[in-house]
């Protein structure tokens, strides 16, 4: 039986740390999977970056569906899946090739090896006259994939319904928020609406992950999820109430101080939220 894990085990993580070729599998508009070769690099056990050619069906599928799989064949074959989001419109090291940089937040890894069988890593050869140039380009692409800064979520300040102050005052919620934030949560939340398509794609990818649970002891309507983030240098939590019909383009920020007055914010102002590399513990 194939082994499944929520993050990259040691073998595929080691294989992808340095960068390698992979097969990008995306859901086509016709309902059938589409496959394309790509370069891929793992930043950590939960994040893999890869390329998608400009004008390709793979890029169109990513932009439409926001999810993909990566088939990695190293000493063992692995299938990695998860929600995806754009990082850069172009990989500068390969600008002439026209490749966009995307990121996958890993939600599942399937070990596809089987007893008694040995596989060989996916390999290819450049033509002799191109080999040195293309190997140098590959290494430059892998370096850029690793080093490219993760774009922030760009949100617009909006007035909420005032329920955040009640939630942050609930004893069990306040205790849990304090543990995740490392500070006493200020009563209330800062509400942001995410309208930018790239930011919304990044938020949907993050929100597809479990995050940190905030569960009422007896169950109830106050349950939520939280994700670690920064506004400037200020630690915050993105809190998502688990209530029916909650807008997918809205987030609420909890911090140890009043964000509106601390940052001089008013409705309509733009706020950059830098998500943490990993969900809050």
| Fold that domain 153-275 belongs to in CATH | Elongation Factor Tu (Ef-tu); domain 3 (2.40.30)
Helix (H) or strand (E) holding 168: helix 163-169
Output Rg (C-alpha) for the chain, integer angstroms.
21
Please indicate whether residue 232 or residue 39 has the higher confidence score (pLDDT).
39
pLDDT of 71? 95
pLDDT of 280? 46
pLDDT of 94? 93
Please indicate whether residue 280 or residue 82 has the higher confidence score (pLDDT).
82
1 pLDDT more than 60: no
160 pLDDT more than 80: no
Q: Write the burial class of residue 244 (CB in 10 Å: 0-12 exposed, 13-18 middle, 19+ buried).
A: exposed
Q: Where in the chain is the domain with CATH 2.40.30.30?
A: 153-275
Which pair of tokens denotes residue 231?
A: 């506004």
How many whole angstroms separate alpha carbon 193 and alpha carbon 196?
9
| CA angle, residues 82, 87, 93, in degrees to nearest 5 | 120
Q: What is the mean pLDDT of the chain?
A: 89
pLDDT of 55? 95
Confidence bin at 90 (pLDDT 50/70/90): very high
Overall average pLDDT of the 156-179 stretch: 83
| 18-76 pLDDT, tens digit each | 999 999 999 999 999 999 999 999 999 989 999 999 999 999 999 999 999 999 998 88
pLDDT of 113? 86
136 pLDDT more than 70: yes
Confidence bin at 127 (pLDDT 50/70/90): very high
Overall average pLDDT of the 90-96 stretch: 94
How many whole angstroms separate alpha carbon 212 and alpha carbon 238?
10
| 204-227 pLDDT, tens digit each | 888 888 888 888 887 655 788 899
Domain at 3-147, CATH homologous superfamily:
Electron Transport, Fmn-binding Protein; Chain A (2.30.110.10)
Cβ within 8 Å of residue 249, ≥6 positions away:
193, 194, 195, 200, 203
Q: Where in the chain is the domain with CATH 2.30.110.10?
A: 3-147
pLDDT of 221? 57
Name the DSSP class of 229.
E
Please indicate whether residue 112 or residue 163 has the higher confidence score (pLDDT).
112
| 243-260 pLDDT, tens digit each | 888 888 999 999 999 999
């Amino acid at each position: 039986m194939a082994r499944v894990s929520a993050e990259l085990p040691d073998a595929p993580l080691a294989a992808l740390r340095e960068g390698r070729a992979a097969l990008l599998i995306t859901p086509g508009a016709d309902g059938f999977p589409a496959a394309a070769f790509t370069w891929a690099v793992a930043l950590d056990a939960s994040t893999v970056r890869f390329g998608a050619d400009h004008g390709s069906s793979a890029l169109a599928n990513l932009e439409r569906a926001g999810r993909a799989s990566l088939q990695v064949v190293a000493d063992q074959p692995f299938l990695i899946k998860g929600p995806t989001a754009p990082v850069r419109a172009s990989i500068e090291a390969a600008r002439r090739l026209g490749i966009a940089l995307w990121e996958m937040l890993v939600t599942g890894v399937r070990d596809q090896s089987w007893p008694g069988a040995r596989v060989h890593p996916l390999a290819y050869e450049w033509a002799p006259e191109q080999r040195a140039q293309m190997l140098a380009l590959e290494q430059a692409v892998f370096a850029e994939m690793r080093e490219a800064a993760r774009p922030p979520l760009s949100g617009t300040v909006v007035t909420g319904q005032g329920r955040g102050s009640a939630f942050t005052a609930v004893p069990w919620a306040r205790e849990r928020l304090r543990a995740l934030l490392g500070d006493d949560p200020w009563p209330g939340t800062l509400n942001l609406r995410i309208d930018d398509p790239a930011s919304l794609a990044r938020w949907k990818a993050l929100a597809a992950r479990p995050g940190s649970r905030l569960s009422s002891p007896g169950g109830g309507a106050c349950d939520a999820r939280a994700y670690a983030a920064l506004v400037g240098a200020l630690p915050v939590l993105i809190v998502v109430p688990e209530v029916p019909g909650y807008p997918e383009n809205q987030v609420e920020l909890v911090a140890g101080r009043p964000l509106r007055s601390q940052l001089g914010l008013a409705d309509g102002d733009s706020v950059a939220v830098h998500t943490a590399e990993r969900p809050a513990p």
